[in-house]
Amino acid sequence: MIDEQKMTTWQTKDGRSLHIRPMQPDDAPLLVTIFEHMSSDSRYRRFHQAVDNLSTNRVLQEAGEIAATVPDNGFGLMALDGDMAVGAARYVIFAEGQAEIAVSIGDDFQNSGLGTRLVALVAQEAQKRGIQQLTAEVQADNKAALRVLEKLPFPYTQDLDGPIVQVEIDLTPDAGMNFQRKTV
């Protein structure tokens, strides 16, 4: 688990050393950095719409809202390469015991294992804080995101709804009793 006040170090598959720490309300500029280091395709896959022509002010405003919601309504993690943010994952509570999870990874760190690591850590933290179910919407052709979910140490279900897969991750304590856990 990630201590609220501490930063941990983690190595990517290719040996790069990153720092992972809890997201803070003043992390909006770091979220903007991640957004700026995502291609059009990566942004589309993350936000499910074209977001390339947003003004800098709009991007900063949205990032500010994301960072501000974390302490009261969820939890998030930031991954840093030195001082540069390269990835983030968070969950936001939308009903008692239920939260939605989201992850953003800069293009230079995609396929490095970072998304898998962040999602697993956020899911573990959600379980620790009493969340029983995480949900996510993933584009059906986003094989990388679906592979991340397959590596989680929690059971999940997928429901195809047109071009979107509705994912429900079961974090209840008994859900994993007969579930073969995978190393993340």
pLDDT of residue 62: 78
pLDDT for residue 183 = 35
Q: Residues 6 or more apart from 83 whose CB is under 8 A from it?
A: none
Mean pLDDT for the chain overall: 83
pLDDT score for 22: 94
Structure tokens at 79: 């991954």
Going 43 to 48 to 51 to 57, the CA torsion angle's sign is negative
pLDDT digits (tens, 9 = 90+) for 164-182: 899 999 999 876 555 443 3
CB 102 within 8 A of CB 90: yes
pLDDT score of 182: 39
How far is CA 9 from each of CA 37, 78, 112, 123, rounded to the nearest angstrom? 21, 12, 15, 18
For residue 110 the two structure tokens come to 């995609």
Q: What are the structural domains, with CATH classification, of the chain?
A: 8-170 (3.40.630.30)
For residue 180, the model assigns a pLDDT of 47
pLDDT tens sequence across 13-30:
999 999 999 999 999 999
Q: Among residues 43, 32, 123, 112, which one has the least CA distance to residue 77?
A: 123
Rounded Cα distance between 97 and 126, Å, is 9
- Mean pLDDT of residues grouped by 10 in the chain (184 residues)? 69 94 92 79 59 67 79 89 93 95 90 93 94 92 88 90 90 67 37
Q: Do β-strands 17-22 and 8-11 pair in parallel, antiparallel, or remain unpaired?
A: antiparallel
